[in-house]
Structure 1
Amino acid sequence: MEYGQMLRKMRKGADLSQEEIAERLHISRSNVSRLESNKLKLSFEDAVRWARTTDSQDMMVAMICNVDVSVASDMLNQIIQISATILFPFLGGLL
């Protein structure tokens, strides 16, 4: 799947129109359209902002790593669990 299709899927999954996501990302609606149709190069910064705005970090990780979304979601959950295991004793002592 090309990145434009993934961006559109992420936006629609968040129930946002092109106008709404353009406003939230501070870009023009025409640039949203061009990104979704692969006519405009997607910068790393825009990709991160798009994923955060649509709450679709797992889909972005899947696209970057070229893996299924369920695999990316599992990867993110494992990272969160490992981080919590490492940080909890440290943070617990500070609280």
Structure 2
Amino acid sequence: MKKYGGILRACRERKGLTQEELALEMNVNQSDISKYESGSKEPTLSIVQAWLSNTQATEVLVAFMCGVDGLNIMQSIMQLLGG
């Protein structure tokens, strides 16, 4: 899941949430959010679902399940962010 940490981070940033805010919404530690984003800890499917739900980025999961690669997903998110 390491290569998807950037996607999770981009989803969080697109929503305008800090790691602390997302951690509070998901009822996890901020250090876990950081580990998921850096790829040092692999999230469970339920964590990914909660992440995408809390960041209102469920289209990311749908795109991934349909075979869109992580780089294309991240590029699309970053375009939406204006970067």
Q: What interval of TM-score do these two structures reach, taking the shorter chain for normalisation?
A: 0.7 to 0.9
Matched, 1:40 2:41: yes
Runs of 4+ in 1 over 4 A off after TM superposition: none
Partner of 1:7: 8
Give the counterpart letter for 1:65 in structure 2.
Answer: C
Give the counterpart letter for 2:33 in structure 1.
Answer: V
Identity of aligned residues (%): 29
The answer for unaligned runs of 5 or more in structure 2 is 74-83
Q: CA deviation at 1:40?
A: 0.4
User: In the comparison of the two structures, how many residue pairs are matched?
Assistant: 69
Larger Rg belongs to: 1
Q: Aligned ranges for residues 52-71 of structure 1 at < 5 Å?
A: 52-67=53-68, 68-69=72-73
**Cα distance between partner residues in 1 of 2:66 and 2:40:** 22
**Cα distance between partner residues in 2 of 1:60 and 1:6:** 10
Q: Aligned ranges for residues 15-26 of structure 1 at < 5 Å?
A: 15-26=16-27
Q: CA deviation at 1:64?
A: 3.5
Q: Deviations for 1:38-92, whole angstroms, at most 9, x for unmatched residues?
A: 00011000000001000000112223433155xxxxxxxxxxxxxxxxxxxxxxx
**Cα distance between partner residues in 2 of 1:63 and 1:2:** 13
* TM-score of the pair, normalised by structure 1: 0.67
Using CA pairs under 8 Å that are at least 6 residues apart, name the structure with larger relative contact order, 1 or 2.
2
CA RMSD of aligned residues (A): 1.6
